[in-house]
Amino acid sequence: MTHVVAIPAPQPRRRVLAPLLAALAMFGPFAIDTIFPAFPALEADLDASAFEMQQSISAYMVPYALMSLLHGPLSDALGRRRVIVAGVLVFMLASLGCAMARTLEVLLLFRAVQGISAGAGIIVGRAVIRDVFDGAEAQRLMASVSMIFGIAPAIAPIVGGWVVAVAHWPMIFVLLAAFALALCLACLVWLPETHPPQRRVALSLRELARTYRAIVGDRAFFPLVLSGSFNFNALWVYISSAPVFVLDMLKLDAQHFAWLFVPAISGMMLGAFVSGRVAGKLTAAATVRAGYTIMVAACALNLAVNWLLPQPRVPWSVLPIGLHAIGIGMSFPTLTLLLLDRFPHHRGAASSVQAFVSLLISALIAGVLAPLLSASPLRLVVAATIVTVLGLGCWRAYLVVVRRW
Q: Hey, which residues does 282 pair with through a beta bridge? A: 279
- DSSP helix, strand, coil percent of the chain (3-state; round to 5): 80, 0, 15
- 328 within 8 A of 295, measured Cβ to Cβ: yes
Query: What per-residue confidence (pLDDT) applies to 327?
Result: 94
Please write the tens of the pLDDT for every residue from 227-243: 988 988 888 888 878 78
Please give the average per-residue pLDDT across 13-25, as a whole number.
76
Query: What per-residue confidence (pLDDT) applies to 86?
Result: 93
Share of the chain above pLDDT 90, in %: 27
Residues 6+ apart with CB under 8 A from 268: 146, 147, 150, 235, 325, 326, 328, 329
Query: What per-residue confidence (pLDDT) applies to 10?
Result: 42
Query: How many alpha carbons lie under 13 Å from residue 158 in its C-beta half-sphere?
Result: 11
DSSP state of 36: G
Please write the tens of the pLDDT for every residue from 90-129: 999 999 999 999 999 999 999 999 999 988 888 888 788 8
Query: What per-residue confidence (pLDDT) applies to 54?
Result: 74
DSSP state of 246: I
Peptide bond into 315 cis (omega under 30): yes
Query: What per-residue confidence (pLDDT) applies to 150?
Result: 61
Query: What per-residue confidence (pLDDT) applies to 153?
Result: 65
Query: What per-residue confidence (pLDDT) applies to 6?
Result: 43
The length of the chain, given as a count of residues: 405
Please write the tens of the pLDDT for every residue from 169-197: 999 999 999 999 999 999 998 888 888 88
Residue 97 CB neighbour total at 10 angstroms: 18
Query: What per-residue confidence (pLDDT) applies to 264?
Result: 85
Please write the tens of the pLDDT for every residue from 264-307: 888 888 888 888 888 778 888 999 999 999 999 999 999 999 88
Residues 6+ apart with CB under 8 A from 60: 31, 32, 111, 112, 114, 115, 118
Q: Could you tell me which CATH number the domain at 11-193+202-404 has?
A: 1.20.1250.20
Query: What per-residue confidence (pLDDT) applies to 284?
Result: 87
Assess whether pLDDT exceeds 80 at residue 143.
no
Query: What per-residue confidence (pLDDT) applies to 8?
Result: 45
- 231 within 8 A of 338, measured Cβ to Cβ: no
Q: Hey, which residues does 279 pair with through a beta bridge? A: 282
Assess whether pLDDT exceeds 80 at residue 40.
yes
Please give the average per-residue pLDDT across 320-341, as a whole number.
89
Query: What per-residue confidence (pLDDT) applies to 100?
Result: 94
The Cα 158–Cα 163 span in angstroms is 9
pLDDT grade for 147, boundaries at 50, 70 and 90: low
Nearest in space to 219 (alpha carbons), one of 335, 342, 332, 126:
342
Listed range (48-57, 334-343, 384-393) with the worst mean pLDDT: 48-57
